[in-house]
Chains A and B, each alone.
Chain A
């Protein structure tokens, strides 16, 4: 139901952050998360809803690694 995309935190101020999405800087509300500059946050409707463990490209490379063999 929910388009949310990861962006990189550039700077923090009060309960907001400047987040970069491939060259687009958007101000995002950080009331639900506690990120550091340089970390990736998942942003939905102008709100950061979680801090990402790793960068998306890296995550996708590993996504099939743990799948068990087909029975």
Chain B
């Protein structure tokens, strides 16, 4: 919805500085942009070398004590959210957290991140600086380094798109995968559904409320689980497509069925109010700071207690379990795998998201 792109804050009495095609030309304007914005916030010993590529010592990926190599995890994601700044975060924080979380969900320790910026002409440089600063701050908090980047400028009206690619180290012997679920495993959800999506929609539609994006990296939750020695089967962050889509993806990978209880699924009253207004379903709405973990039955209580002590898992809850592993020949891909027990005690299929999940009147 182009017309709803954020109204950029304009300082009274002063024309804001904006990105122009010259900033993408590779000449002086580009160099100044690098120095004054990107260089100001993104410095580290690898990036500062300003070579054509970052060169990394692979022994950093080793568990030096036990002389085991482990594995490299790598993930990429592109971020095109509007508005660029929203309650609870901005595209800068989002593009770091999103990629970090993908690494964390594989049980990796995130180490490095790269970033590619596509800036539309007209983007205010003050806004760009706030976003770059936010990225740097988030990366610093997460203990990761931004080691490579790129910028391009295209024609447009002030938009910004960012791609980040992250790399991390998976310790030797760790095997976290969506295919690992077993019968009886419990499904843990780290907190309220739909916050990020609700926040973005509210900002675009100028609905007044106190909803904030839950944009955050989840290392406190994942480290707590792994450090406690929990035999986590799989973890997934609940992003586009929502909880329902994530559960279906895992159920398909593990060829299993799941049962989830609606009464245990946490949704805050203001997010529920917004979804009621727009005719949306929180089960299909994106978060940017929530995850699920599938845990062996006998370890679930311990896992839940540990997670609830973390900042990003304080509202964690067990929402259901893996009810059956499907044996024999491959099940048809139209078979439903996730069953929801409704508030009233009825049951229904919880399918993955089809289409866009558009707000409706009917």
Chain B binds chain A: yes
* A contacts, CB < 8 Å to B: 1-3, 5, 21-26, 43-45
**Which residues on the B side are within 8 Å of A25 (C-beta)?**
207-209
B362 adjacent to A24 (CB under 8 Å): no
Q: Which of A1, A2, A23, A45 contacts B273 (CB 8 A)?
A: A23
A residues near B269, Cβ cutoff 8 Å: 22-23
Asked if A21 and B276 sit within 8 Å, CB to CB, the answer is yes
Q: Which residue of B lies closest to A43 (CB)?
A: B277
How far apart are the CA atoms of A23 and B272 in the complex, in Å?
10
Chain A: CB-nearest residue to B198: A24
B105 CB, min distance to chain A CBs, angstroms: 31
- B208 proximity list for chain A (CB < 8 A): 24-26
Spell out B's residues near A (CB within 8 Å): 202, 207-211, 269-270, 272-274, 276-277, 279, 360-362
Which A residues are in CB contact (< 8 Å) with B362? 1-3
| Residues of chain B lying within 8 A (CB to CB) of residue A23 | 209-211, 269-270, 273
In-complex Cβ contact of A26 among B210, B211, B277, B360 (8 A): B277
Kindly provide the distance from the CB of A29 to the nearest chain B CB, expressed in whole angstroms.
14
In the complex, are the beta carbons of B361 and A22 less than 8 A apart?
Answer: no
Min Cβ gap A44→B in Å is 7
| Contact between B361 and A24, CB atoms less than 8 A apart | no
Task: Report B-chain residues with C-beta under 8 Å of the C-beta of A45.
Answer: 361
B277 touches A5 (CB 8 A): yes
A1: B residues at CB distance < 8 A: 362
Give the chain A neighbours of B211 by CB distance below 8 A. 23-24
Report the bound CA distance from A1 to B211 in whole Å. 29
Residue among A3, A23, A24, A26 with most chain B CB within 10 A: A24
Q: In the bound complex, do residue B279 and residue A3 qualify as a contact, i.e. CB atoms below 8 Å apart?
A: yes
A27 to B68, CA, bound (A): 62
Minimal beta-carbon separation of B350 from chain A (angstroms): 20
Contacts of B273 in A (CB 8 A): 21-24
| Nearest B residue to A44, CB-CB | B361
A9 to chain B, nearest CB (A): 15
Q: Mind listing 19 A-B residue pairs with CB under 8 Å?
A: A3-B360, A5-B276, A5-B277, A21-B276, A22-B270, A22-B272, A23-B209, A23-B211, A23-B269, A24-B202, A24-B207, A24-B209, A24-B273, A24-B274, A24-B277, A25-B207, A25-B209, A26-B208, A44-B361
CB distance from A7 to the nearest CB of B (A): 8
Name 12 extra pairs, CB < 8 A, besides A24-B209, A26-B277.
A3-B279, A5-B277, A21-B273, A21-B274, A22-B269, A22-B276, A23-B211, A23-B270, A24-B208, A24-B273, A24-B274, A43-B277
A2 to B279, CA, bound (A): 10
Cα distance A43–B269 in the bound complex, in angstroms: 18
Q: Which 10 A-B pairs have the closest CB atoms?
A: A22-B273, A23-B270, A21-B273, A25-B208, A24-B209, A22-B269, A5-B276, A24-B273, A3-B279, A1-B362
Q: What residues on A are CB-neighbors of B272 within 8 Å?
A: 22
Q: How far is the CB of A13 from chain B (nearest CB, A)?
A: 15
Cβ contacts under 8 Å, A24 to chain B: 202, 207-209, 211, 270, 273-274, 277
Q: Residue on A with the closest CB to B210?
A: A23
Give the residue name and chain of the A residue nearest to B202 (CB). A24
Q: What is the CA–CA distance of A1 and B279 in the complex, to the nearest angstrom? A: 12
